[in-house]
Amino acid sequence: MSLEIIILAAGKGTRMCSTLPKVLHKIAGKSMLGHVIECARKLTPQKIHVVVGHGAELVKEQFVADDLNFVIQEQQLGTGHAVATAVPYVNADNVLILYGDVPLIEENTLRALLQKVQVKSLGLLTVTLTDPTGYGRIIRDQKGNVVAIVEQKDASESQKQITEGNTGILALPSEPLKKWLSQLSNKNTQGEYYLTDIIAMAVADSYTIVTNQPQSEMEVQGANDRIQLAQLERFYQLRAAQQLMKQGVSLIDPHRFDLRGEIVVGSDIEIDINVILEGKVVIEDNVSIGANCIIKNSILRKGVVIKPNSHIDGAILGEESDVGPFARLRPGTILHENTHVGNFVELKNTSLGNYSKVGHLTYLGDTEVGSYCNIGAGTITCNYDGVNKYKTILGNEVFIGSNSSLVAPVVIGDAATTAAGSTITRDVAANSLAIGRAQQIQKDNWQKPKPNK
């Protein structure tokens, strides 16, 4: 049967004490609403209807997509009223109702609920809580059948003792839903139209209420303030850490690890404390990542070693390359096999050939470095004239002396050497020594020093 999803995301979130709409506050680098939409899409609905109110334009700007229909709830008059604003746009047989501030709901939980919904039945996700304060209580008859939901503020003292709470997540046929919504009343303590009142209406119409529960109560926990937001963040991160460890990743301390994106991993990977992975990251076999590293939108090939306090963003690291400590690789950086980037080195839009080394205190921008090169400490490429960027190209087996400035555009030929402290402003021929301390001198057919016996 066809399915459409309604996500309620109109709340202001007063307790967040923020001008940002509540559903745009982030868990693991992604907005709460973003998490819910991502989960909803996995169910392949025909359409997703997002009910927005406070900060509607800001929400819509962040989630423009063909499969999303935004519905404005001008006044926030309760969950029943919110669903009623979206229902006229629903054409599918069944409807699933989700919440934009319940970000950790899982696909498997929702699929299990949907599978229970048959003819003349309504699916309700409930949760058994150690402390159900604030939740609507599930009222069952003597046979265990759900007959109603009573909100906390309207519950009697005996009803408040019930530990089975309502998550608000419903799966049900669309046609009777439209009828029940039209019959809702706001004669209650809050003066709102409760979506939960349709449960009693469904029972009166001889519908069976089928229930299912999530594996953890945190999966259906909403975030109404920053304390709850932080609790959800840590639960998400610990769950992500546990999943990675099951795949062969060793985390020195799973409680000090953060994943803020998507990751593909091999086996025998070791990650030290306080590592943050952002965006799309691929980590192949036998990679080691030191403490306090940030890795974003990058690929780490087999055997890569990243030493502590390094930042990797938009880079590809070849097999057996090593980086850091305190290194920064910016977007467009490619390290080929067995390369070395040392402490306080920054590379941007730079390719480093096989077995080449950049040991210390160096900046290379818009640079192509061949194989078996050595870049001395304090070297910089002067790639920007204030308006335009230019390239620096180094051939194979080039040796750059310490404290050299390579003024782009410049090409340094194979096996050439620049003397320490030189400013190189013109191309350097292969197999030559360039000295640019005062006036650049080139010695052709210069023989490199050989190791002492």
Going along the chain from its start, the domains and CATH numbers come out as 3-220 (3.90.550.10), 226-443 (2.160.10.10)
Q: Distance between CA atoms of 424 and 437, rounded to whole angstroms? A: 9
SS3 at position 24: helix
| Residue 438 confidence (pLDDT) above 80 | no
Mean pLDDT of 393-419: 98
Q: pLDDT value at position 1?
A: 82
> Is 361 known as a binding-site position?
no
Q: pLDDT value at position 12?
A: 85
Looking at the chain, the whole-number percentage of residues with pLDDT higher than 90 is: 88
Q: pLDDT value at position 444?
A: 92
Higher pLDDT, 196 or 295: 295
| Residue 279 confidence (pLDDT) above 90 | yes
Q: pLDDT value at position 24?
A: 96
Q: What is the pTM of this model?
A: 0.89
SS3 at position 182: helix
Between the alpha carbon of residue 152 and those of residues 64, 79, 137, 148, 348, the distances in Å are 36, 15, 7, 13, 57
Least confident of 16-20, 283-287, 377-381: 16-20
pLDDT-based confidence at residue 437 (cuts at 50, 70, 90):
confident
Q: pLDDT value at position 66?
A: 87
- The per-residue pLDDT for range 69-128, each reduced to its tens digit, is 999 998 889 999 999 999 999 999 999 999 999 999 999 999 999 998 888 999 999 999
> Is 224 known as a binding-site position?
yes
**What are the backbone angles phi and psi of residue 200, rounded to the nearest 5°?**
-65, -35
| Residue 134 confidence (pLDDT) above 90 | no
Q: pLDDT value at position 87?
A: 96
Q: Which residue in 25, 35, 49, 360 is the catalytic one?
A: 360
Q: Per residue in 396-415, is it b (16+ CB within 10 Å) or e — as a string?
A: bbbbbbbbbbbbbebbbbbb
Q: Per residue in 63-73, is it b (16+ CB within 10 Å) or e — as a string?
A: beeeebbbbeb
Average pLDDT, the chain: 95
Q: pLDDT value at position 37?
A: 97
Is the Cα dihedral 36, 37, 42, 47 positive or negative? positive
> Is 363 known as a binding-site position?
yes
Q: Distance between CA atoms of 239 and 220, rounded to whole angstroms? A: 14
Contacts of 139 (CB under 8 A, 6+ apart): 146, 147, 148, 149, 150, 159, 162
Q: Distance between CA atoms of 11 and 132, rounded to whole angstroms? A: 22
Q: pLDDT value at position 449?
A: 80
Q: pLDDT value at position 364?
A: 98
> Is 11 known as a binding-site position?
yes
Is the Cα dihedral 309, 382, 422, 333 positive or negative? positive
Q: Supply 271's token pair.
A: 């990650």
pLDDT-based confidence at residue 440 (cuts at 50, 70, 90):
confident
For 212-256, the DSSP string reads: E--S-GGGG----SHHHHHHHHHHHHHHHHHHHHHTTEEES-GGG
| Residue 453 confidence (pLDDT) above 80 | no
Contact 11, 220 (CB under 8 A): no
Q: pLDDT value at position 339?
A: 98
Higher pLDDT, 394 or 437: 394
pLDDT-based confidence at residue 153 (cuts at 50, 70, 90):
confident
By the 10 Å C-beta count (0-12 exposed, 13-18 middle, 19+ buried), 276 is classed as middle
Q: Distance between CA atoms of 354 and 340, rounded to whole angstroms? A: 9
Q: Distance between CA atoms of 235 and 251, rounded to whole angstroms? A: 16
**What are the backbone angles phi and psi of residue 22, rounded to the nearest 5°?**
-55, -45
Q: Supply 19's token pair.
A: 């001008």
> Is 350 known as a binding-site position?
no
Q: pLDDT value at position 375?
A: 98
Query: What does DSSP assign to residue 290?
Result: -
Q: Using the structure block, give the residue that is written with the tokens 């390369």.
A: 339
Higher pLDDT, 450 or 228: 228
Higher pLDDT, 66 or 71: 71
> Is 437 known as a binding-site position?
yes
- Catalytic: 25? no
Q: pLDDT value at position 323?
A: 98
- The per-residue pLDDT for range 248-268, each reduced to its tens digit, is 999 999 999 999 999 999 999
